[in-house]
Chain A
């Protein structure tokens, strides 16, 4: 084998290029029309109990998919019961519903090769189903039972609490996981989005808490359901009226919270590892505030993909990281944040932090080139066609837009702002909203191998691992 290899290498010279046929175009000069996607509009129906339903028929495959959104986000958990919404969504699905025991539901769904799933994030709890058309009726009934008549079996609650406690035991296993958790926690400090669960908060969760959470938020008149697939719209509406019969309207009041008030510092977690995970940034604006679109655009210049500045400086030019990038997050209800991140070799930790900070500062101090702006603007505009590749994604996006109370042309406004943005606009929003001297910086790494003590870069707070 060795002989074969040296032979091959001996025969091949370093002649890297033979050129291309003379009639091939220069790829940088190839021009293409921007394809304007034809927006798919769902049919909108209101059921007798006030539930809004968005429906798109799609007969290409024998499937029906649906997802209902409710404003039962993690931020509405009681302060001393952080972790409740995650356990709630697990036990809602696994704890039995209507006339069925937990095992009967699992057995029926799996025999029909269908799924019903419940998931929660900061904003919403959603309950989804997916089934072959031929099994629509039984699956829709189970979905409705789980949504409206969950049994929250004590046994399954105990099981999920035990698994949640084990997950807490394991959450310091991976440096990246630690860094993301600490960063989200610090940048949202003072807001419920920054809370994290503890052994005590999980242990305190009772069945009554789950029932109360369900009763408080699960009302049809404040929910939106998106359904797509192989069905007839009128028949589907009749089916939904039938399975959701008895689900009654009600008043839901949502508390409001002050915006996050993070304390700028370098938060350091000691972990024996040969790479440092670095996150840095500050809260900016909500996704519907003036300046958001421009921040989104300039954050792509900073950290989106191979041609972004972080990627070019940290990875391409210096080979200091495999993973690096950044973004402006979408804030709904409270401000999103503008951030950058790197997973970098440990003996260059301080150098990488300074290099990253320099990228943020440069975007404040100098306007981006028109060429750089066009690259990322073109990406956003040309990629618009991908918003319509799946009908279920279209229907779910419209459902969320409605739940968040955004205007129906929210996205069109965003596109108009992206089209109009100038280098001066990007510099203006950077100066207005992104302040490196006030960053929350989280570093997970092994201090014995750092190139410089982190305290030389700013106020240092050591975060112990529980």
Chain B
């Protein structure tokens, strides 16, 4: 969700100029773009390696494979994490063969004893492979060297790998990630698929917000992959096989589809030599394949979904809208702030303070992704004895107000000030800035785009806000998902 905030940020002139002059961009022969931002506050470097690959790139039935591959890219290479690569390679191939034999036997409804025998052989093969591996070797290297924030995340549109290290570990970082891009080994694959299944339980099944969000997206997007759960369904996760995951990796994760950002104690002209030595060794891959992702057809009538769940009630409302660079996407960012940014925002004031009907209310102007037309969403939790129906009524009244009355100049100015200050705050944090730059470089046709957005927001008029509200906040363009307490009346 960090992305959603970043998009509405603005940068005032002098600072923008200063930052702009500091940023160095290089493009290697293999297409990898490298951005460096010197910042001498402390002898550390914040790294962000981002690929334009995510959930939308998955074939049907392979839901969540981008996320699974994100996990697997931490499993090392032949030279990082293997005790004897020749033997381990053979052992990993034996695991795959044993798994394939078992799958075939199950599919052909073989005798119970046969399945038991093959299951035992498969488990035995996994044990043999494990004996030849040093698990989590990448983490071990970075831990030894004082890492902070080693992590990765997968979205519908992108995947990024991040870590911060003391600045003299630059070569270690490059040695490790270049090797991963060249030679990733998906060891302990089936154990990790079990881990992902637990992650799915934790985030999407046992968390009421996660569960409601899945129902909401499924209802709102009936054709486009934004409607599929990013982590995959349970059945899909159980069906992951190493060859299909490896095929996804080899199809998509290439230097020409990635941006590497370094923020911190760097000297660009010197450090780019080291970057070239390692990252330059990775061959260019194919361009993003055309997967013919179908467009979501315009919605014709309101859609509603209910989730019965062992939790207190909750409400999620969404409206389809265009994405950037369509001007309306920026207009909807302004509406997002007007509705829920701060205690004086319209929905907070109305629902939480005046009506005392909600515990909280929030909104997002670009959910759940950015590459394709997305949604404006509003989420709220009623305060007993008020109900989600009460909240819907108040929210729709406020949306009508946006359509019928122009926003005052003072309110408009407040929203501009808020976005401006928020942007400056992002510049204070190294990892946040690294991520923002990677994102703009990958999805907005260049990081420079950051410096052009203030002008767009500053020219948005009260009339445009009114028009956008009328265009998108209509009942037929609306999807409503409600969490209803199981066995309860609300």
Which of A103, A170, A388 contacts B311 (CB under 8 A)?
A: A170
Considering only residues 398-438 of chain B, those with a C-beta below 8 Å from chain A are 410, 413-414, 417-418, 420-422, 424-425, 427-428, 430
Which residue of chain A has the shortest Cβ distance to B281 in the bound complex? A21
| B60 touching A113, Cβ below 8 Å | no
Task: Give the complex CA separation of A130 and B422 in angstroms.
Answer: 11
| A320 touching B198, Cβ below 8 Å | yes
Considering only residues 335-393 of chain A, those with a C-beta below 8 Å from chain B are 343-345, 374-376, 378-379, 381-386, 388-391
| A170 touching B202, Cβ below 8 Å | no
Residue numbers in A under 8 Å from B342 (CB-CB): 106, 110
Which residue of chain B has the shortest Cβ distance to A275 in the bound complex? B201
Residue numbers in B under 8 Å from A258 (CB-CB): none
| A17 touching B166, Cβ below 8 Å | no
Which of A9, A110, A374 contacts B247 (CB under 8 A)?
A: A9
Q: Answer yes or no: A263 CB below 8 A from chain B CBs.
A: no
Known A94-B343, A174-B208, A316-B188; contact A62-B383, beta-carbon cutoff 8 A: no
Considering only residues 314-339 of chain A, those with a C-beta below 8 Å from chain B are 315-323
Whole-angstrom distance from the CB of B84 to the nearest CB of chain A?
13
| B175 touching A307, Cβ below 8 Å | no
Which of B143, B184, B192 contacts A379 (CB under 8 A)?
A: B143
Known A27-B80, A170-B359, A385-B43; contact A376-B202, beta-carbon cutoff 8 A: no
| A14 touching B246, Cβ below 8 Å | yes
Whole-angstrom distance from the CB of A247 to the nearest CB of chain B?
26
The interface size bin for chain B is 35 or more
Which of A32, A103, A316 is packed against the most chain B CB atoms within 10 Å?
A: A32
Which residue of chain A has the shortest Cβ distance to B310 in the bound complex? A272
Q: Answer yes or no: A246 CB below 8 A from chain B CBs.
A: no
Interface SS of A by simple majority? mixed
Q: Answer yes or no: A433 CB below 8 A from chain B CBs.
A: no
| B418 touching A110, Cβ below 8 Å | yes
Task: Give the complex CA separation of A241 and B168 in angstroms.
Answer: 44
Residue numbers in A under 8 Å from B41 (CB-CB): 60, 388-391
Task: Give the complex CA separation of A114 and B424 in angstroms.
Answer: 12
Task: Give the complex CA separation of A382 and B141 in angstroms.
Answer: 12
Whole-angstrom distance from the CB of A38 to the nearest CB of chain B?
9
Task: Give the complex CA separation of A103 and B145 in angstroms.
Answer: 50
Q: Answer yes or no: A466 CB below 8 A from chain B CBs.
A: no
Which of B96, B148, B243, B421 contacts A386 (CB under 8 A)?
A: B148
Known A174-B207, A385-B146; contact A275-B198, beta-carbon cutoff 8 A: yes
Which of A5, A14, A307, A389 contacts B140 (CB under 8 A)?
A: A307
Task: Give the complex CA separation of A108 and B273 in angstroms.
Answer: 50
Q: Answer yes or no: A234 CB below 8 A from chain B CBs.
A: no
Considering only residues 105-124 of chain A, those with a C-beta below 8 Å from chain B are 106-107, 110-114
| A110 touching B15, Cβ below 8 Å | no
Q: Answer yes or no: A83 CB below 8 A from chain B CBs.
A: no
Q: Answer yes or no: A232 CB below 8 A from chain B CBs.
A: no
Which of B44, B93, B146 is packed against the most chain A CB atoms within 10 Å?
A: B146
Contact stretch, chosen from A74-82, A160-168, A187-195: A160-168
Q: Answer yes or no: B292 CB below 8 A from chain A CBs.
A: yes
Task: Give the complex CA separation of A60 and B469 in angstroms.
Answer: 39
Q: Answer yes or no: B389 CB below 8 A from chain A CBs.
A: no
Residue numbers in A under 8 Å from B93 (CB-CB): 14
Whole-angstrom distance from the CB of A382 to the nearest CB of chain B?
3
Residue numbers in A under 8 Å from B343 (CB-CB): 94, 106, 110
| B79 touching A26, Cβ below 8 Å | yes
| A273 touching B206, Cβ below 8 Å | yes
Residue numbers in B under 8 Å from A111 (CB-CB): 410, 413-414, 417
Known A4-B289, A273-B206, A382-B144; contact A18-B312, beta-carbon cutoff 8 A: no
Task: Give the complex CA separation of A59 and B341 in angstroms.
Answer: 28
Q: Answer yes or no: B464 CB below 8 A from chain A CBs.
A: no
Which of B135, B193, B198 contacts A345 (CB under 8 A)?
A: B198
Which of B202, B247, B278 contacts A323 (CB under 8 A)?
A: B202
Which residue of chain B has the shortest Cβ distance to A345 in the bound complex? B198
Which residue of chain A has the shortest Cβ distance to B418 in the bound complex? A113
Which of A2, A20, A60, A390 contacts B79 (CB under 8 A)?
A: A20
| A378 touching B146, Cβ below 8 Å | yes
| A375 touching B96, Cβ below 8 Å | no
Number of A interface residues at 8 Å Cβ cutoff, please give it. Answer: 87
Considering only residues 128-173 of chain A, those with a C-beta below 8 Å from chain B are 130, 132, 159, 162-163, 166-167, 169-170, 173
Task: Give the complex CA separation of A274 and B234 in angstroms.
Answer: 13
Whole-angstrom distance from the CB of B8 to the nearest CB of chain A?
13
| B164 touching A386, Cβ below 8 Å | yes
Known A107-B344, A113-B417; contact A8-B143, beta-carbon cutoff 8 A: no
Whole-angstrom distance from the CB of A10 to the nearest CB of chain B?
9
Q: Answer yes or no: B205 CB below 8 A from chain A CBs.
A: yes
Which residue of chain A has the shortest Cβ distance to B244 in the bound complex? A9
Q: Write the B190-207 contact mask toward A (1 if CB under 8 angstroms, else 0).
A: 111111111101100111
Q: Answer yes or no: A306 CB below 8 A from chain B CBs.
A: yes
| B427 touching A18, Cβ below 8 Å | no
| A321 touching B418, Cβ below 8 Å | no
Task: Give the complex CA separation of A52 and B183 in angstroms.
Answer: 56
Which of A24, A28, A132 contacts B278 (CB under 8 A)?
A: A24
Q: Answer yes or no: B153 CB below 8 A from chain A CBs.
A: no
Task: Give the complex CA separation of A342 and B403 in angstroms.
Answer: 49
Q: Answer yes or no: B139 CB below 8 A from chain A CBs.
A: yes
Whole-angstrom distance from the CB of A324 to the nearest CB of chain B?
9
| B356 touching A159, Cβ below 8 Å | yes
Which of B146, B208, B341 contacts A382 (CB under 8 A)?
A: B146
Q: Answer yes or no: A238 CB below 8 A from chain B CBs.
A: no
| B130 touching A317, Cβ below 8 Å | yes
| A316 touching B191, Cβ below 8 Å | yes
Considering only residues 171-214 of chain A, those with a C-beta below 8 Å from chain B are 173-176
Whole-angstrom distance from the CB of B133 to the nearest CB of chain A?
10
Residue numbers in B under 8 Å from A24 (CB-CB): 175, 179, 278
Q: Answer yes or no: B251 CB below 8 A from chain A CBs.
A: yes
Query: Apart from A12-B246, A14-B96, A306-B136, what 12 extra A-B contacts exist at CB < 8 Å?
Result: A2-B59, A16-B184, A17-B78, A17-B183, A20-B178, A27-B179, A61-B427, A113-B418, A170-B311, A173-B208, A306-B74, A343-B198
Minimum-distance CB pairs A-B, first 10: A382-B146, A319-B194, A113-B421, A306-B139, A322-B199, A173-B311, A383-B146, A306-B136, A113-B417, A322-B198
Q: List 11 A-B contacts (CB under 8 A).
A: A14-B246, A16-B246, A32-B145, A35-B166, A113-B422, A170-B312, A272-B310, A274-B206, A275-B198, A307-B143, A386-B148
